[in-house]
Each structure stands twice: as C-alpha cells, then as structure tokens.
Amino acid sequence: MVILTLNCGSSSAKYQVYDWNKKQVLANGIVERVGQEDSAIEHITPGRTPFTKKHSCPDHKEAIKLIMETISDSEVGAISSMEEIKAVGHRVVQGGEKFNKSLIIDKEALDTFKEVQDLAPLHNPANILGIEAAQAVLPSVPHCAIMDTAWHQTMPEKAYIYALPYEWYENYNVRRYGYHGTSFLYVAKRTAVLLGKKASETNAIICHIGNGASICAVKNGISVDTSMGLTPLEGLVMGTRSGDFDPAIVFYMMNKTGLSPAEIEKILNKKSGVLGISGQYIDRRDIQKAAAEGDKRSQLAIDVEVYRLKKYIGAYAASLGRVDALVFTAGVGEMAPAIRTKILEDLDVLGIKADPEKSMLSKTRNAETDITAPGSKTKVFVVPTDEELVMTEDTHALMEGTYDVHTNFTYSFQDKAYVNKSRAEGLARELKNKPQLESIVARIP
C-alpha cells in the first residue's frame, strides 16, 4: 500500500511517497516557487541521483500535477502508476478548537479549515489549495488532514486563555492554539522511548527551532503549554517573525509612520525576527558566518534568539516542576550546534547540564543524539523530527478504522525496536567520514 503525504506552503509543495507494506520511503521532494515563473521540482529517490526539473507552476493544482507526473515517471519515479496511491495525508496548520485528532477530510472539515484560515494566514490558505488540488487529481482515494493544532488541544484553560475580554474568546475564538504539533508529537513519543519511560509518565521541554520556531511543555505525555499563540507569530524569535513584543508598539508605529494594519501584519510576519535584526539574513548559517566576520547586528540577532529561548526553557521548567528531558529538533535545533550550545549555557540552576563538545559534535539528521553532561538531572537530546511519518501512520490508521487520539493510539516509532531504514543507511555512510559521531548516538534503555 502506497501513501502520499503533502505539505503545501504559500509557495511550495513538499511530498513523500511511502510504501506501508515495506515500511520505507520510496521518494520525497519539493516543488518550490509555486506561482512564479522559475518554479521547479527537486525529487529524491533513495539510491538514485536527485532529479531536478524546471516547470511552470502558476498554482498549487499545477504543482500537484507535476508531483504526480514525477513520482510515476518511468525513469525517475517511484511507482508504476497513480493507481498505486491508496490515500493522501495533508498537513493542515490550523484546525481550530473543533478537532483534537486527525480525520478523513469531508466538506464539513474543509469548510472549518476555511473558517479559521485567518488564524494562520501564511499557512492555511496554502494547505486548503493543496487539498483541493490533490482531490481534483486523485478524486477516488481518501484524503486525510493531520493538524498541527490538534496536539495542543490538551492545554488547560490557564495556558490557552489570554487576559483579554473573555467575550473575544467566546465570540471570535481568540485563544492560544499552538503549532508544530505533528513534530512535537513525534519527538515527545521518541523522547519517552529514549528515556525508557511510558509516554504518559514523561515530562519534557521540546524546542522546535527552524525558520518557524516554537517550544512546548509536555507533562505526562501531553502538551500543557506552547509558545505560539492565536497565530504562529507569538513566542520565540524566528526567521522572519517577531515572536513576543509589546503590542502597544503596533499602535505606536502606526501613529508614527501611517502604516496600515495589513502593512504592520506583513512586517511582523515577513520582515521581523532575525531578518529584522540582522537587516539581511534569514538562514542561521548566513547569520553565523556574518557574525564570525564581525557583523554586530548578526551577532545581536543570535544573542536575542538565544536569550528568548533560554527564558522560555526556564519558564517551562518552573511550570512542569520535573523535567525528564530537554530536546532540540527541526532545522536549527538539529543542524546548528553553535546556536544550540549557546542556548544550553548556564542552565545548571535548572538541573540541566549539556556537554559542549558533544553538542558541537551533534549535527546530523540520521540519528538521535545524547549530549547530556555527567551529573545532569535532566537528559539533553537532539531528536530529528519526522512529521511525514506521523502523517503517514495517521492516514493509514484512518483508512483501517484503527485511529484514535494520540493518548489512545500507539505509533510504530514508540517501539524500542523501531528503525528508520533510510536514516540508518544514512548514518552508516556518515560514520565513515565522522566516526566520532558514534559516541553520542542515543542508546535506548
């Protein structure tokens, strides 16, 4: 059985083709610059040279068609025909309060996604376009929604209610929703395995740090707080998003400059964060390089991002009481050891001690690493996330009628014997050039 997963952004469409019976990824890739003249696809089939092709994709429907043609192509594809695809799983960023788990998409669900799309204005419209485009190309198979907000529906009222007029919540759904839930679910379950504990007995602080970034407090295996709020704008310093700031600044700048609400919203979402501070960089690799060359604003961007994260870690440690593990994931969390190591400095007061040398060594997407220092009360892990696997397993279970909310459902990656085949192969190749990495690979008790 082949399951296709799709993650459509405002100008991109990521995909993965998964053979359920063989438990392996057949192909994955991305169509970038959707809606622009220079759009192109990058397609990766394990064991083959990556395939790239420029192709005009004026909209997501054309991008989805390009994906389908590529994955079934006789030379570079992964399947012989589209009939092999038995279901499609879609990432949906915002599902509102209505949904606390994944579901098969029907008209009611799609209408709900449209109703709440202004809560995730950079994501939900693209998610919806992707769903409708895929349904048009594959009308006879079930399409499932895996929502980022579903994981956070376990937050207590004291965590998700803002100190604003309560009528805003009652009438306009103004509350904290949280995002990156699919990633947090995977990492939380894997963290429990690495600790040798049941998920329901595990407390963890998980830092999902990428271009978009958020942090989640997990108590007894469920989300009890997170940094993103009504929209993905609140919380940590991100690539182009501001994160936390005094809301009065909005009115101050509108009065000073005459900026409109739409212009302010664009600035906060697309021109702030580390880009806003550095003035020119979004990619942390570029920022670190510029800082090393003496660019003071780039260094300041790093310092502000690190400081904000440390404050949230301290706050969540206080709210949890007991922290079994502090975990890093996503692009920066996994692959920017210099930034991660700065975040981990001086957390001893919280009982969190990481080994700086181990942290600097950990830079891989092929293995879970343990960077804990001797004497630390709290384990420190780096766990490469796998949102696509969660999407695939939810989709399969929905088709089989075995799916349930995550506290009543067991994923394959919760098994101690679970092995990601492609990552294991990647690690074996990586160890040939970096054998010292073996010393920090996390061991399952």
pLDDT in tens, 314-350: 999 999 999 999 999 999 999 999 999 999 999 999 9
Q: State percent of the chain over pLDDT 90.
A: 77
More confident residue, 47 or 51: 51
pLDDT on residue 146: 95
Q: What's the CA dihedral at 297, 303, 304, 305 to 10 degrees?
A: 110
Q: Is 286 a catalytic residue?
A: no
Spatial contact of 14 and 6, defined as CB atoms under 8 Å apart = yes
d(CA 109, CA 114): 9
> What architecture is the 2-147 domain classified under in CATH?
2-Layer Sandwich (3.30)
Quick check: 125 pLDDT over 90? Answer: no
Quick check: 38 pLDDT over 90? Answer: no
d(CA 154, CA 63): 35
- Give CA separation, 69 vs 79, 141, 255, in Å: 10, 17, 52
Among the listed residues 148, 225, 355, 394, the single catalytic one is 148
Q: Which long-range contacts (CB under 8 A, 24 or more apart) does 12-17 make?
A: 13/60, 13/63, 13/64, 13/67, 13/130, 15/67, 15/71, 16/388, 16/392, 17/71, 17/78, 17/79, 17/85
Joined together, the tokens standing for residue 80 give: 């012989």
Q: For residue 267, name the pLDDT band (cuts at 50, 70, 90).
A: very high
Average pLDDT over residues 223-244: 95
Q: Say which DSSP state 154 is in.
A: G
Average pLDDT over residues 166-191: 96
> What architecture is the 200-382 domain classified under in CATH?
2-Layer Sandwich (3.30)
First-to-last C-alpha distance (Å) of the chain: 33
pLDDT on residue 341: 96
What is the residue extent of each domain of the chain?
Answer: 2-147, 200-382
200-382 matches 2-147 in CATH topology: yes
Sign for the CA dihedral angle at 97, 98, 104, 110 comes to negative
pLDDT on residue 1: 87
pLDDT on residue 177: 96
Average pLDDT over residues 358-386: 97
Q: What is the pTM of this model?
A: 0.93
d(CA 434, CA 275): 33
Average pLDDT, the chain: 93
